[in-house]
A = this chain, B = another copy of it.
Amino acid sequence: MPKQVDHEARRIQIAEALMRLASRGGLEAVSLRDVAAEAGVSMGAVQHYFKSKDEMLTFAMNHVNKRAEQRIVGQLTSMPTRPEARVVMRTLMLEMLALSDDSRMEYLTHVAFFLRALASPELAEHYREQWPRLEAWVAGELRFAQEAGELPADRNPEREAEALLLIPDGLSVGLLLGQRTSEEAIRSIDYHLDRLFGTYTVD
């Protein structure tokens, strides 16, 4: 289906232009003309593929979420044996951290989406579906780890899943503003994983 593939590729091209614009400080002042120029397509093409800026942004969010998921699944399935829960969580958290150009843009796409969702019930609804799905997946992995004896029995999988996802998000702010180094952020994630899995000991 070459036509279908082409359609999707063009939508991704436009959405990635929107993400680059969002990553330069927000989407408020960004016009259809700006998106078309950044994507190197005509305004008519942008209008053909998306009915509104919000539709573009929703597509961009789904695109970055899928892209991140593919990177994470790719890493996990390339491991020689089924990884322990701590390794799964570390892979997820490091991919969420704004360390690479891709993950920086993904993080800023989420911020842009969040700000527009404040004034758009439709976008807020979309967010309300995505985030809990990720939290539920992490909580499920932690519950499985508990049954396998990898995670202490007194940890609450839902609450811990929340924190595991919030920590890389928060650390990304400091990374983007140059307040933390990558090494510090990774050390922080390792500390919290160690304390969660009960593998932490004082030096």
Q: Is the CB of B118 within 8 A of A177?
A: yes
Q: Is the CB of A154 within 8 A of B201?
A: yes
Interface string of A114-150 (1 = CB under 8 A from B): 1111110000100110011000000000000000000
Q: Which of B25, B154, B169, B178 contacts A115 (CB 8 A)?
A: B25
Stretch at the interface among A26-34, A37-45, A76-84: A26-34
Query: What residues of chain B lie closer than 8 Å to A155, measured between beta carbons?
Result: 195
In the bound complex, CA of A105 to CA of B33 (Å): 31
Inter-subunit contact B25/A116 (CB<8 Å): yes
Tell me, in angstroms, the Cα distance from A23 to B128 when the chains sit together.
20
Whether A12 sits at the interface, judged by CB under 8 Å, is: no
Chief secondary structure at chain A's binding surface: helix
Please provide the chain A residues from 143 to 183 with a CB less than 8 Å away from any CB of chain B in the complex.
153-156, 159, 162-163, 165-167, 169-171, 173-174, 176-179
A124-B178, A179-B132 known; A191-B156 Cβ under 8 A: yes
Q: Is A90 at the interface (CB under 8 A from chain B)?
A: no
Which residues from chain B contact A29 at a C-beta distance below 8 Å? 28-29
Which listed residue, B118, B179, B192, B200, touches A127 by the CB 8 Å rule? B179
Cβ of A70 < 8 Å from any Cβ of B? no
Contact across chains for A176 and B24 when beta carbons are under 8 A apart: no
Contacts of A119 in B (CB 8 A): 24-25
The answer to whether the Cβ of A202 comes within 8 Å of any Cβ in the partner chain is yes
Is A159 within 8 A of B177, CB to CB? no
Expressed in whole angstroms, the Cα–Cα distance for A116 and B174 within the complex equals 14
Residues of B within 8 A of A200 (CB): 154
Give min CB distance, A101 to chain B, whole Å: 14
| Extra A-B contacts (18), CB below 8 Å, given A132-B179, A167-B167 | A24-B119, A25-B118, A25-B119, A26-B27, A28-B28, A29-B29, A111-B115, A127-B177, A128-B178, A153-B202, A154-B200, A154-B202, A159-B187, A159-B188, A162-B170, A163-B163, A163-B167, A166-B166
